[in-house]
Amino acid sequence: MKKLLAAAGGLILSASLVAGAQIVVRIGPPARHVERRPPLPPEHRDWAWRNGYNRWDGNAYVWVPGEYAAPPHPHAVWVDGRWVHRHNGWVWTEGRWR
């Protein structure tokens, strides 16, 4: 049982280290897609639209469509993620609630 817990702890530590890592992509992202935003469902009047984005899957960019999402608190505003050009390539900056 102790070995199993130690192994699980190692997995959690490894996952947290990977989550903080930045991946540099040498190929610039394609232009953002033009999305048609569907109507806001009436039962979710306080939800916000999060625009789609190009995600790097390790081999190519893949389009992730936009979606409505519940804000974490009233009056929260979604700030889209974006690709930032650095001297050695492109780095993704995650979207966030503000």
DSSP codes, 66-93: -EEE--SSTT--EE--EEEEETTEEEEE
Tell me the whole-structure pTM to 2 decimals. Answer: 0.73
pLDDT at 60 over 80: yes
How confident is the model at residue 19, as a pLDDT?
Answer: 59
What the block records as the tokens of 51 is: 């625009």
What pLDDT is recorded for position 20? Answer: 66
Question: How far apart are alpha carbons 12 and 14 in whole angstroms?
Answer: 5
Residue 43, pLDDT > 70, answer: yes
In the chain, what are the domain boundaries?
45-98
pLDDT reading at 16 higher than 70 = no
**What is the mean pLDDT of the segment spanning 13-29?**
70
Report the distance separating Cα 13 and Cα 45, nearest Å: 39
